[in-house]
Structure 1
Amino acid sequence: MPSESDPIRIVVICGPTGTGKTAAAIEIAKAIGAVIVSADSMQVYRYMDIGTAKPTPAERTAVTHHLIDVMDPDEAFDAQQYVALADSVIEDLFRRKIPVLVVGGTGLYIRALRYGLFSAPKIDPMIRSALRAEASERGLAELYDRLRVLDPQSAAALHPNDRQRILRALEVSLSTGRPFSSYLKEHGFRSERYAACVIGLYREREALYERIDRRVDDMLENGFLQEVERLLQMGYSAGLASMQSLGYRHLVDFIDGRMSWEETVRTLKRDTRRYAKRQMTWFQKERNMIWIDAHRTDAMIAVVKDFLR
């Protein structure tokens, strides 16, 4: 990476699901001649298009996007891999003097890109193996309850279905005798790796929730169920981390007869609203955020141009 005296400048467009990040980012990118680097933990997966709300082919033709469709659904992907890939893309664009927009709602990826990841403590492989076996045999809910006892702070920050991160927090806590959250706190996340202008998109809660409900309806009308059926037919099992994500697990439950269609739609809308609330809570804790009404793309462009000047 360039020296501190010549830092790479990036613009980050973030916020909860449903705020309109993609549309705003494309408008901004066109205005400044930028390229978009996705910061979405699900859009990295091929074949998972509708449920992850990927930019359309037309949008990806209008503005170049990176870190979309880079993994198969049965491949593991984490923040460390994301940072390595994003760094490579950003440094290449910097050399070519192309402005960079980092766009997405995965707060952990954005934080890791800005501040780096803490050095992971050594994990006992027997503990790791035992936890994975327990998750398969007894279910994730029991492990999540254990994490709530061992490390309430980490548990509060994670969704009960986030298998990969629940296991990670548990294996660190059990291997070291210290809560996983204490390592994060120790890191501090204060030394920035890039000179970043971070814009958070904001909508009133009621308006955001209405947009989320409409978007779920649109996804289902546009073939989300058929997308999940196709993934299962391709051999991607329901137990994969990617298939346990928001929306995909709901439709798998419907396909397997565990929920009616009405219950599936209602639960998916509810869980998406809850996810948006958690995202907003995360981003409100981030430093140096510039919150702008999601309708005011003109204001975003003005802020970005001033930052890059």
Structure 2
Amino acid sequence: MLSPLIIIAGPTGVGKTETVLKLAEPLSAEIISADSMQIYRKMDIGTAKPTREELACVPHHIIDVVEPDDPFDAAQFVRMAEPIIDRIHSSARPVFVAGGTGLYIKALIHGIFPCPQKDKEIRKNLSNEAERLGPSFLFDRLRRVDPESATKIHPNDKQRIIRAIEVFELTGIPLSEHHQAHRFQKIRHRTLKIGLTMDRGFLYERIDRRVDQMLEEGLVDEVEGILRQGFSPHIKSMQSIGYSHVTKFLHGDLSFDEMVRTLKRDTRRYAKRQLTWFGADPQVIWME
């Protein structure tokens, strides 16, 4: 029998944390965080982690599990989540999965497709090409070998571009075709998928207010502290929304006002991409 999961998904700033707490607490449920940034220790304000009080109300999992420079991907998320789900279900308690990282949620439900292992030599060569010729060169190459993947990967997302090209070079098959074949895998969990949404203008206002709140709570100090501990500004976690913007401000590449403006803009754009991702899933039940 497939184990059931209640998914609470949606864009950043829509209120997933508040909603899942209201639903989970009276049911004595537990929550698995499906957020690719809340996995990192030391990164609290910019990732909008639940507060200590919220964490004390309902048990949370897969938060603060790795250091900012540790690698982590959807496969690791699934490997961590599965035994937690089994343990919670064995005690007859409901499991909520809440977050905005659609790939983590998809991997948990459908599993990870059997993709080839990473090849250090290929990745090194591709990374060197990106450094020498710029990320746009690699992106143009991706568009030639796998145009479908190119429509789903941001032109500046060097890591995912390299992975897509790497898969093609190793197998001769575009990454998008691997994904297409994997869609016919058996579903691993029964799910109730709830998507949270609201008027787009109101959502963007909430995002702007949340950015202001993060800055008031000490986001600049948080980023400065991480850099002071010796973490490179070039690691994946520090290239994320918020942390990259503040780093540019600290290095003098952006004024404070420019940092705030671009951080709000890029967060709104990210929310739009999340809505597009979850909106493509016909099983999502949308609630305002």
Q: What TM-score does the superposition give when structure 1 sets the normalisation length?
A: 0.89
Q: Distance in 1 between matches of 2:285 and 2:62?
A: 24
> Tell me, what secondary structure is at the counterpart of 2:195?
strand
Correspondent of 1:268 among 263, 267, 279: 263
Structure 1 match to 2:191: 196
For 1:21-48, what per-residue CA distance to the aligned partner results, in whole angstroms no more than 9, with x for missing partners?
0000000011211111000000000000
Moved more, 115-124 or 34-43: 115-124
Taking a change above 3 Å as real, the CA distance of residues 168 and 50 of structure 1, as seen in their structure-2 partners, is same
Match of 1:277 in 2: 272
TM-fit CA distance, 1:65: 0.5
Amino acid at match of 2:116: P
Structure 1 residue 139 displacement after superposition: 4.5
Quick one: distance in 1 between partners of 2:184 and 2:107? 8
1:234 aligned onto 2:235 = no
1:222–1:125 CA distance, 2 compared to 1 (3 A) = closer
Aligned to 2:84: 89
Match of 1:172 among 162, 167, 172: 167
Matched, 1:159 2:150: no
TM-score, scaled relative to structure 2: 0.95
d(CA) in 2 for partners of 1:289, 1:55: 24
Per-residue Cα deviation, 1:213-258 (whole angstroms, up to 9, x for no partner): 1111111111111110000001110010000011111111111111
- List per-residue Cα deviations over 1:117-172 (Å, max 9, x = no partner): 11113555431221233345554443233323332321221233433322211211
Which residue of 18, 26, 48 maps to 1:23?
A: 18
CA distance in 2, matches of 1:234, 1:189: 45
Secondary structure in 2 aligned to 1:268? helix
Identity of aligned residues (%): 51
Hey, what's the Cα distance between the residues in 2 that align with 1:123 and 1:255? 34
Aligned to 2:205: 210
Cα distance in 2, alignment partners of residues 30 and 124 from structure 1: 45
Equivalences for residues 15-54 of structure 1 within 5 A: 15-54=10-49
Distance 1:200 1:166, change over 3 A: same
Task: Tell me, yes or no, if the aligned pair for 1:161 and 1:244 is still in contact at 8 Å.
Answer: no
2:219: which partner in 1? 224
Q: Superposition pairs for residues 39-118 of structure 1, below 5 Å?
A: 39-118=34-113
CA separation of 1:99 and 1:200: change in aligned 2, threshold 3 A? same
**Does the alignment pair 1:128 with 2:123?**
yes
SS at match of 1:157: coil
**How large is the RMSD of aligned CA atoms in angstroms?**
1.6
List gaps (5 residues or longer) in structure 1: 1-5, 294-309
Shift of 1:259: 1.2
Aligned-residue offset at 1:261: 1.2
